[in-house]
Chain A
Amino acid sequence: MRSPRTRGPFLALSLAIVKGFVRDKASVFFALIFPLMFLVLFGGLFGDQTQSKVELVQVGQVALLDEMSDGARGAFDETFDVEESDDLAAALEKVRKGDADVAIEMRGDTIVAHYTQTDQVKAAVTQGALQAFVDGTNVALSGQPPRFSLETERVEDDSLSTIQFVTPGLLGWAVAMSAAFGAAATLQGWRQSKLLRRLQLAPVSTRTVVGARVTVTLLIALVQTAIFIGLGAAAFGLTLTGSWWMSVPLLVVGTLCFMALGLLAGAITTTTEGAVNAANFMVLPMAFLSGSFFPLDAAPQWLQTFSQVLPLRHLNEGMLDVMVRGEGPSAALWPIAVLAGFALVVTLVAARLFRWETT
């Protein structure tokens, strides 16, 4: 009876679900584009935290600046944006309004710096830098070689730079979100259109139908992972550590766990909008409380303790350990076990609440 022009039910169902996903612009946006926007935001904007230059108004002649050697002047211009003026009152007004950060004038041999405390970091940078230049010029004028010198070295590899921290967390959140939304929307949509009933009357097993849906969600999760890691590495200098490949089994159980939550959302609601909202209500606060967007190190102890009951916290921790903290493969085992346990319990609850129809 089967000819070569026949597709197996599993393949046909998977294909139908993939097409339904790809053609739904909102789903694609929330699964792929939306999380990437966060990655670009965190990785691009917060990743490179250089201070903007200090706006300096030079009032009248200032010997320090005018007598500076070319090398020193170059270093000075790295830090300060100099504007010349003859009107002290106008310069002070500028500083007060925030249009400039500091105004300097000469009173005899003293340089007077007028600054504002509005931006305390900048005020400190300004005072420190000006003091350094005054001292440096004094030393140069004395003709003696300086006795002490300073070298600086970055220590950033000890603590994670922004992109290293946000990629695993945002990826975990993206996968969790699309798994939960996909499961919730499919269950509700198919139930409302009576497609669930229709499939019940077709000679395909529940296993085949559920298997197709899970397979497609796992494929989407893998595509998300590839895009995240690819973009993070190419554009923001993400460096993966040794056992990053353990993130794949982590994401697989994570996907199952959040599909189960999506099924639960679909089971307790009666409309597709309601199901998606319920899924959102579970996943979004969980993302904040699980450290997907910012580290929980600074959070109060009770929150850190509470976050241990959230599956996303374990997914995030596992992902950070294997992707960027350089932990061995075994670091993922405990999170995988916890997520699998969540998946099992939530699936059982969702199965108990399952109804074929909304009425």
Chain B
Amino acid sequence: MAAIEVVDLSMTYGDLRAVDAVSLEVAEGEFVGILGPNGAGKTTLLEMVEGLREPDSGRATVLGMPVWPRNAGLLPRIGVQLQASAFFERLTAREQLHTFAALYAVPVREADDWLERVGLVEKADTRVEDLSGGQAQRLSIACALVHDPELVFLDEPTAALDPQARRNLWDLLSGLNDSGRTVVLTTHYMDEAEVLCDRVAIMDAGAILRFDTPDALIRGLDAPTRILLADGEVLTTRDPAQEIARLADEHRLDGIRVQTGTLEDVFLDLTGREYRA
């Protein structure tokens, strides 16, 4: 059974077709990333799949159940992180987690474990207003996961995180996925999508342009390989094996770097380079 099944989903704001007849299927246990420039319709798509918005047309099914109208039986099985500030005012990190745990009938002790998992033990008694951006982000992820959901939606979970926190969160998310949960996230970081995601959907102007594994997307780009030599010379080639063999013969392999196409190249190739909103 598919974890998510989306058929012909559309949403229009005034003249703007925010989401334009999108169809999508995510298998159970899959880790899927949605990439797209600002205003591409990622958040609107996600909100319709989560059951927050009624689509103008089409339908979305999650874990075999329709998401609209609000389905109270489905809610305990999904976890949603909307944005870092969706907190109760002036509560500490621990109180915040306890409150969300109570909404899902999760024991307080289990909720406390999450402080450790997201590295906030030392900030347990700090009010949310006094947390740094990254700490607030980690707390909001803990609040989304506190009831151990089967399917997790994360909206730009690593925005505002420093590199250490970002890697730690990657480990946490991979761990979730390894234990069989389905994860859907939106992100601006291509390296993140490449490392974490089984499949990546590239979205622009309300439509999904490609939906495939990162490898297949990069191969599809058919970009030449670039070899950067230690002396600054750059070689561009379609046959890297032969070129590297030649460099080895000339004893010029020390300090070289080989660049193939990246997900970022795919992204820019598909969505263009002009500035977005």
Contacts and interface: CB of A to CB of B under 8 A. Distances in A.
> Does B associate with A?
yes
A47 interface: no
A23 interface: yes
Interface stretch (A48-56, A189-197, A241-249, A336-344): A189-197
A225 to B, nearest CB: 25
A203 interface: yes
Contacts of B76: 203
Interface in B45-68: 50-52
B106 A6 contact: yes
B82 A13 contact: no
Interface stretch (B88-96, B211-219, B263-271): B88-96
B167 interface: no
Interface in A250-297: none
B98 interface: yes
B103 A203 contact: yes
A197 B75 contact: no
Interface in A129-187: none
A356 B47 CA distance: 13
Interface string B77-116: 0101011011111110001001111111111110000000
A298 interface: no
Contacts of B50: 201
B246 interface: no
Nearest to B47: A197
A7 B86 contact: no
A97 interface: no
Given A201-B78, A202-B100, A6 B108 contact: yes
A19 B95 contact: yes
Contacts of B86: 193-195, 197-198
Nearest to B128: A193
B70 interface: yes
B72 interface: yes
Given A7-B98, A19-B90, A198-B86, A1 B105 contact: yes
Given A16-B95, A19-B95, A198-B80, A24 B90 contact: yes
Interface of B: 50-52, 70, 72, 75-76, 78, 80, 82-83, 85-91, 95, 98-109, 127, 143
Contacts of A11: 102
Contacts of A125: none
A139 B64 CA distance: 108
A195 B105 contact: no
A202 B104 contact: yes
Given A200-B70, A203-B103, A5 B109 contact: yes
Contacts, number: 85
A197 B91 contact: no
Contacts of B51: 201
Contacts of B88: 16-17, 20, 195
Given A6-B106, A201-B75, A202-B103, A194 B83 contact: yes
A108 interface: no
Contacts of A203: 72, 75-76, 103-104
Contacts of B98: 7, 12
Contact of B82 (A5, A16, A17, A198): A198
Across the A-B interface, the 4 shortest Cβ-Cβ residue pairs = A12-B102, A23-B90, A198-B86, A7-B102
12 contacts: A2-B105, A6-B105, A7-B108, A12-B99, A13-B103, A16-B95, A20-B90, A195-B88, A197-B52, A198-B86, A200-B52, A201-B50
A226 interface: no
Nearest to B92: A19
Nearest to A359: B13
Nearest to A195: B86
A199 B52 CA distance: 11
A192 B85 CA distance: 9
A8 interface: yes
Contacts of B109: 5
A9 interface: yes
Nearest to A198: B86
Given A6-B106, A193-B85, 18 more contacts: A2-B105, A7-B98, A7-B102, A12-B103, A13-B99, A15-B99, A16-B91, A19-B91, A20-B88, A20-B89, A24-B90, A189-B89, A192-B85, A194-B86, A197-B52, A197-B82, A198-B82, A202-B103
